[in-house]
A and B are shown apart, each in its own frame.
Chain A
Amino acid sequence: MNVRARVLEALSEVHDPELDEPITSLGFVTSCKVSRGGDVAILLRLPTPQCAPNFAYLMAADARNVVRRLPEVGRIDVRLEDHYTGEEINAAIARGEGFTGAFPGETDDDQLGALRELFQRKALVARQARLCEALLADGLTPEQVTARRVADLPDDSGARRCLELRDQLGIGREPDAPAFVAPNGEPLAADELTLWLQKARLVRTSLDVNGSICRSLLEIRSRRGAELEEVGA
Chain B
Amino acid sequence: MYSHNGDNFFVVDGHLHFWDASPANWVTGQEQYAKGWIECFHAYMGLGPAETHWPLEKFQKYSEDDFVKDVFEDGYVDVGIFQSTYLKEWYRDGFNTLEKNAELVEKYPDRLIANGRWDPREGEAGLKQLEEDAKRYNLQGVKLYTAEWYQGSRGWSLKSPESQRFLEKCQELGIKNIHVHKGPTIWPLDKDAFDVSDVDYVATNFPALNFIVEHVGLPRIEDFCFMATQEPNVYAGLAVVIGGLMHARPRFFAKVMGELLFWVGEDKMLWASDYAIWEPRWQVEGFVDWTSPDDAEFSDYPRLDTNGKKKILGLNAAKLYGIDVPEEFQIPDEAGEPAAREDAQLVDSA
Residues of A within 8 A of B (CB): 18, 48-54, 82, 84, 99, 103, 106-109, 112, 114-115, 118, 122, 137, 198-199, 201-203, 205-206, 208-210, 212-213, 216-217, 220-221, 224
Taking CB atoms, residues of chain A closer than 8 Å to B124 are none
User: What residue in chain B is nearest A223 (Cβ atoms)?
Assistant: B46
Q: A87 CB to closest chain B CB, in angstroms? A: 9
Complex partner residue of A49 from B39, B187, B192, CB under 8 angstroms: B39
Complex Cα spacing A122 to B192, Å: 13
B36 touches A209 (CB 8 A): no
Shortest Cβ gap from B152 to chain A (Å): 8
Is the pair B185, A217 in contact by a Cβ cutoff of 8 Å? Answer: no
Smallest CB separation, A115 vs chain B (Å): 6
Number of residue pairs spanning A and B whose beta carbons lie under 8 angstroms apart? 108
Whether A106 and B33, one on each chain, are in contact in the complex, defined by CB atoms closer than 8 angstroms, is no
In the complex, whether B92 has a CB less than 8 A from a CB of chain A is no
Q: What DSSP secondary structure best describes chain A's contact surface?
A: helix
A and B contact pairs by CB, cutoff 8 A, 8 listed = A106-B189, A107-B189, A108-B188, A205-B256, A206-B219, A209-B219, A210-B218, A212-B252
User: Which chain A residues lie closer than 8 Å to B37 at the CB level?
Assistant: 50
Known contacts A50-B37, A208-B252, A209-B252: A103-B189 contact under CB 8 Å: yes
Residues on the B chain within 8 Å of A103, using CB: 189
**Bound complex: CA A176 to CA B256 (Å):** 36
Enumerate chain A residues within 8 angstroms of B263, measured Cβ to Cβ: 202
Within 8 Å by CB of A18, from B46, B153, B219, lies: B219
Do residues B256 and A212 form an inter-chain contact, with CB atoms below 8 A?
A: no
Question: Which of B32, B189, B262 touches A54 (beta carbons < 8 Å)?
Answer: B189
Question: Is B24 engaged at the interface, CB distance under 8 Å to the other chain?
Answer: no
Interface string of B236-268 (1 = CB under 8 A from A): 000000001100110010011001001100000
| Chain B proximity of A21: nearest CB distance (Å) | 14
> A84 touching B43 by the CB < 8 A rule?
no
Closest-by-CB residue of B relative to A51 is: B184
- Chain B minimum-CB-distance residue to A109: B190
Residues of B within 8 A of A114 (CB): 190
Determine the residue in chain B with the shortest Cβ distance to A220. Answer: B46
The answer, yes or no, to whether B302 is at the interface (CB within 8 Å) is no
When distances are taken between beta carbons in the complex, the residues of chain A under 8 Å from B108 are none
Q: What residues of chain B have their CB less than 8 Å away from a CB belonging to chain A?
A: 32-33, 36-37, 39-40, 43-44, 46-47, 153-154, 183-185, 187-194, 218-222, 225-226, 244-245, 248-249, 252, 255-256, 259, 262-263, 296
- Whether the Cβ atoms of A84 and B32 lie closer than 8 Å is yes
**Which residues in B have their C-beta under 8 angstroms from that of A52?**
184-185, 192-194
Q: List 5 other contacts, CB 8 Å, given A109-B190, A202-B221, A213-B244.
A: A48-B40, A51-B184, A53-B184, A206-B220, A209-B219
For B40, the chain A residues whose CB sits under 8 A away are: 48-50
Closest to B241 in A: A209
Using known A-B contacts A209-B252, A224-B43, determine if residue A107 contacts B36 with beta carbons closer than 8 Å.
Answer: no
Of all chain A residues, the one with the shortest Cβ separation from B296 is A137
Chain A residues whose C-beta falls within 8 Å of the C-beta of B185 in the assembled complex: 52-53
In the complex formed, the residue of A with least CB distance to B56 is: A224
- A residues near B262, Cβ cutoff 8 Å: 198
**A209-B43 contact, Cβ under 8 Å, with A99-B190, A106-B187:** no
Say whether, besides A84-B33, A115-B190, A220-B46, A106 and B249 are in contact (CB < 8 Å): no
Question: From B153, which residue of chain A is reached at the shortest CB distance?
Answer: A106
- Bound-state CA distance A198–B222 (Å) is 11
Contact present for B188 and A107 (CB under 8 Å): yes
> Once the chains bind, are B259 and A118 in contact (CB under 8 Å)?
no
Q: Which residue of B lies closest to A116 (CB)?
A: B190
Q: Closest B-chain residue to A102, C-beta based?
A: B189
Contact between B43 and A220 (Cβ–Cβ < 8 Å)? yes
Contacts of B252 in A (CB 8 A): 205, 208-209, 212
Across-interface contacts of A202 in B (CB, < 8 A): 221-222, 225-226, 259, 263
Q: Is the CB of A217 within 8 A of B255?
A: no
- Residues of chain A within 8 A (CB-CB) of B219 are 18, 206, 209-210, 213
**What residues of A have a CB within 8 angstroms of the CB of B47 in the complex?**
213, 216-217, 220
Closest 4 CB pairs of A and B: A49-B36, A220-B46, A52-B184, A109-B190
A203 touches B248 (CB 8 A): no
Residues of B within 8 A of A198 (CB): 262
Q: List the A side residues contacting B222 at CB < 8 Å.
A: 122, 199, 202-203, 205-206
A224 to B38, CA, bound (A): 14
Quick one: which of A49, A137, A216 contacts B46, CB cutoff 8 A?
Answer: A216
The listed residue with most B CB atoms (<10 A of its CB), out of A106, A206, A216, is A206
> In the assembled complex, how far is the CB of residue A212 from the closest CB belonging to chain B, in whole angstroms?
5
Q: Across the two chains, which residue of chain B brings its CB closest to A19? A: B219
A38 to B187, alpha carbons, bound, how many Å? 40
Q: Which residues of A contact B191 (CB under 8 A)?
A: 54, 115
